Amino acid sequence: MDYIGIWDFILVPLFLVIAHYMASRTAAREISKYPEYKYYKSGLLFKIYGGVIFGLVYAFYYNGGDTMVYWEDAKILNTVIFHEPLCYLKILLGDTRATWFYCFDLSEHVPHHYLRDQQAYSVSRLTAPMALLSVDSFFGCTILVAWLCFGGVWRLYRVFIEEYPDLQKELAIAFLFIPSVAFWGSGVMKDAYTFTAACWMTSSVYGLLLKRREIAFNLVAVLFSSYIMITMKPYIFVALMPGTLLWVVFNRIQKIESGFLRVLSAPIIIMIGFVAGSIIFSQTSGRMESYGSVDSVVEKAIATQEDLKREAYEGNSFDIGTIDPSMSGMARKAPLAIFAGLFRPTLLDVRNPVMLISAIENTVLMLFLFYMFFKVGVFSFFKYIFSRPMIMFSFVFAVFFAFAVGLTTSNFGSLVRYKIPSLPFLLASLYMIRYHRVQDKDAPLGRKDDGKTAQFQKIQ
C-alpha cells in the first residue's frame, strides 16, 4: 500500500506551518503570566514531529501495521457520513452494535475491526474527525492526532508545575521530552489516546477534588477520560485508581492542621476512599473484560506466559517464570514484573533500532533511580514518597502500572509501547524527591521547607 499521496505533500507542510505559528502565538500570549509556557512550543513540536517519525517508521520500516489499519477504518467510517449521517453519528459516539455494520457500503468498504475488536475500533472512531479534516493524508491525520493528544499532557504538566513551580525544566523533561513517549504516544494508536486520557484524568481529579475548581468541566473530563481508557486499555484505568485514591485521601488528611484531629479522622477518610474506590471499580468492571477482577487478571497473565512459549516470539520475548495462579504467586513475581515493566528492554535485550532507543532510556532511568537511592538513602527515599501525596501518587502509579504490564506482557515489541505511561510519572517522582532532599539539606536547623517557595538547586 502507498502511504504517501498528493494530499500528504499539500497538508503536511500546511499543518506544520500552522502548528509552528499557533504554538509561537500561544507561548507569546501566555508566557508573561505563566513562565512554564516557555516550553509550550518546543513540547508541542516535539510531540508532533515524534508522531511524524512514528508514521515514517511504520510506513517504511515495518511496511504497515496497526496504525495504518486504524486510519483505514477511520476513513471507511467517514464514508458513512454521506449516505447514512445518523448511523455515522451513532457509531462515532460509541453505539457499535452489529446492526449498524450494514450502514457501511460492504461492496467497497469493509471495516477491519468493527466486528472483531471493539477496543481497537475505538481508536478509529476517535480518529475519524481528524481523518476527515486531513482528507486522504495519513501523515496529516497523524499530526492532528498528536496535536490533539498534546492537550492532556500539557495540562498535567501544568498541574505538577502548580505544586512545584521551581521544577519547570525537570518536569518538562519528564512529561514533554522523553523520546519514546513522544514516539509511541503520538501516532494513530491506542497508546496516544490512552496516555493523554490518563493525563486528563489525573489533572481533572486534581482540579475537581483537590482544588475544587471548574467542577462541571473537570467532572466531564474525568468521565470522558475514564471512558477512553476503559474502552481501549482498561488496565491503565485499573493501575491509575490506587495511586489517585491515595493522592486524594492523603492530601485531605495532610490538610488537617490539628495533629489530634488528623489522627482521629485519618481512618474515616481512608475508609471513605476505600469505599469510593470499590464503588467505582464495581461500576466499571463490567466493561473491563479480563481486567475486571483479580482472577481474570491472573488468568490473562498465565495465558500470556503460555503464549510466550510459541516459536513465533523467539528472540523478541522475555520470561519472568511460571506464575502461580494465586495472589501470593503474583506477589512473588512482583520484583521481576516491576523490573521488566520499568527497565526492560535493557541494552542486552536489544534486537533492533527501535528497541535501542527504549533501552538507552531505561538505562538512564535506572541509573538515576540508583543514584537517588545512594544520595538520599533508601529509608529517606521512601519517607519522601509517603509523606508527600503528589510524589506518592506518581511513584505508586508508575510501579503498579509497571507491575501490571510486566506481568501480562511477554513481547518486547509490545512492552516498549505499553510501558510509556509509567515513565513520565516515575521520572517526575524522582525529580520531586531530589528537590525536597535539597530543600531539607539547605534549610536552617529545626525548619524544613514546604517544597513550594525555595529555589531549586542541583545536588552537587
**Per-residue pLDDT tens for 309-332?**
454 445 567 777 666 666 677 778
pLDDT in tens, 330-362: 778 788 889 988 998 888 888 877 788 889 999
Instruction: Tell me which of 21-25, 49-53, 366-370, 388-392 is least confident.
Output: 388-392
Give the long-range contacts of residues 202-205, CB within 8 A, separation 24 or more. Answer: 202/156, 202/159, 202/240, 202/244, 202/393, 203/152, 203/155, 203/156, 203/158, 203/159, 205/244, 205/247, 205/248
CB 423 within 8 A of CB 365: yes
Which candidate, 188, 283, 279, places its Cα nearest to that of 230?
283
Q: pLDDT tier at 456 (50, 70, 90 boundaries)?
A: very low
pLDDT at 123: 94
Burial of 327 (0-12, 13-18, 19+ CB in 10 A): exposed
pTM: 0.86
3-class DSSP assignment, residue 440: helix
The amino acid that residue 186 corresponds to is: S
- Predicted confidence at residue 442, as pLDDT, reads 67
Lowest mean pLDDT among 157-161, 274-278, 364-368, 420-424: 274-278
The pLDDT of 133-138, averaged and rounded, is 92
308 burial type by CB count under 10 A (0-12 exposed, 13-18 middle, 19+ buried) = middle
pLDDT tens digit sequence for 40-50: 999 999 999 99
List CB contacts of 119: < 8 A, sequence separation 6 or more: 190, 231, 232, 233
Distance, in Å, from the CA atom of 59 to the CA atom of 41, rounded to the nearest integer, reads 27
Q: Are 389 and 207 in contact (CB under 8 A)?
A: no
What radius of gyration do the chain's Cα atoms show?
A: 23
Taking residues 12-37, report their average pLDDT: 96
Find the DSSP H helices in 213-352: 215-232, 234-254, 259-284, 294-308, 327-343
> In one letter, which amino acid is 46?
F
Q: What's the rounded Cα separation, in Å, for the pair 358 and 346?
A: 8
What does DSSP assign to residue 206? Answer: I
Cell of 206: 486534581
Bridge partners for 317 per DSSP:
411
Q: How far apart are CA 251 and CA 273, in angstroms?
A: 12
Contacts of 333 (CB under 8 A, 6+ apart): 320, 321, 323, 407
DSSP 59: I
Instruction: Note the pLDDT of residue 458.
Output: 38
Please indicate whether residue 181 or residue 407 has the higher confidence score (pLDDT): 181
Backbone angles phi, psi at 188, to 5 degrees: -80, 80
Beta carbons within 8 Å of 263's beta carbon, 6+ residues apart: none
pLDDT band at 446 (very low <50, low <70, confident <90, very high): very low
Per residue in 76-96, pLDDT tens? 999 999 888 999 999 998 888
